[in-house]
Amino acid sequence: MADVVHDPEIQKAAKEVGAKGVNLVGMCCSANEILMRHGIPVAGNFLQQELAIVTGAVDAMVVDVQCEMQSLAQVAKCYHTKLITTSPKAKIEGATHIEFVEQDAPNVAKRILMEGIRNFKNRKANVDIPPETMDQVVGFSHETINYLLGGVFRSSYKPLNDNIINGRIRGIAGVVGCNNARVTHDEPNLILIKELIKNDVIVLVTGCSAMTCGKMGLLDP
């Protein structure tokens, strides 16, 4: 979908129904992937997926195999949102199923986008998108870190290694995983991450905990 969303055919179809274009955003784990590789913004993490529908601005929510609430179909019924499943392993009762086929990926993606475009006319007047946004820097691959620590000619992990060896940095911790509905949203991840930073531990994040950091300004240099 990230590849074909700018296709002239898709953009023309969107404008014909009165939209300015197609706004593709990510939610939960898939959001990390398309943010890092395609620069597509994140709308929220695991416990915000129902809230995205509640904005009234989502014409189609497309889900795959992980971190999907079964309740999405019920929430979508209360709004105009069309819920679309793409995996044969994770169908949801009440959702539209458009199976993702690797050999025909562009056409499947276009079909899904067209479902959302056709549904645009069913939006109600009570669209309410929260105004809060946050800048963040993401996508720290091996190559990027190598370059940041040594530049073009001396790319190396040596500055990082040296500072771990001499004790200025006490280690690197990976904090990953979803939110939990039994506790305050984002709080456990945030408390743990801030405590690690306070104790000179570099924190590497992905998944919903990365979005927690992004929302709180911890991914802004």
pLDDT in tens, 3-29: 999 999 999 999 999 999 999 999 988
Mind listing the pLDDT tens digit for each residue in 167-203? 999 999 999 988 888 999 999 999 999 999 999 999 9
Q: How many C-beta atoms surround the C-beta of residue 177 within 10 A?
A: 16
Backbone angles phi, psi at 122, to 5 degrees: -90, 5
In SS3 terms, 70-112 reads as CCHHHHHHCCCCEEEECCCCCCCCCCEECCCCHHHHHHHHHHH
CATH architecture entry for 8-122: 3-Layer(aba) Sandwich (3.40)
Q: Strand, helix or coil at 171?
A: strand
Residue 199: predicted pLDDT: 97
Residue 207: predicted pLDDT: 87
What does the pLDDT average to over 100-118? 97
The band of 139, judged by pLDDT with boundaries at 50, 70 and 90, is: confident
Distances in Å between the Cα of 55 and the Cα atoms of 48, 58, 85, 160 are 11, 7, 20, 43
**For the chain, percent of residues with pLDDT exceeding 90:** 81
65/119: higher pLDDT: 119
What does the pLDDT average to over 129-147? 90
pLDDT higher than 90, residue 110: yes
48/66: higher pLDDT: 48
Residue 221: predicted pLDDT: 82
**For the chain, percent of residues with pLDDT exceeding 70:** 100
Residue 141: predicted pLDDT: 84
The band of 46, judged by pLDDT with boundaries at 50, 70 and 90, is: very high
Whole-angstrom distance, CA of residue 194 vs CA of residue 203: 9
Mind listing the pLDDT tens digit for each residue in 63-97? 998 888 989 999 999 999 999 999 999 999 999 99
**Does an H or E element contain 61, and which?**
strand 60-63
Residue 180: predicted pLDDT: 87
Whole-angstrom distance, CA of residue 162 vs CA of residue 76: 52
pLDDT higher than 90, residue 37: no
Domains of the chain, residue spans:
8-122, 142-215
* C-alpha closest to that of 85 among 73, 76, 95, 77: 95
Residue 121: predicted pLDDT: 96
Residue 113: predicted pLDDT: 98
Residue 124: predicted pLDDT: 92
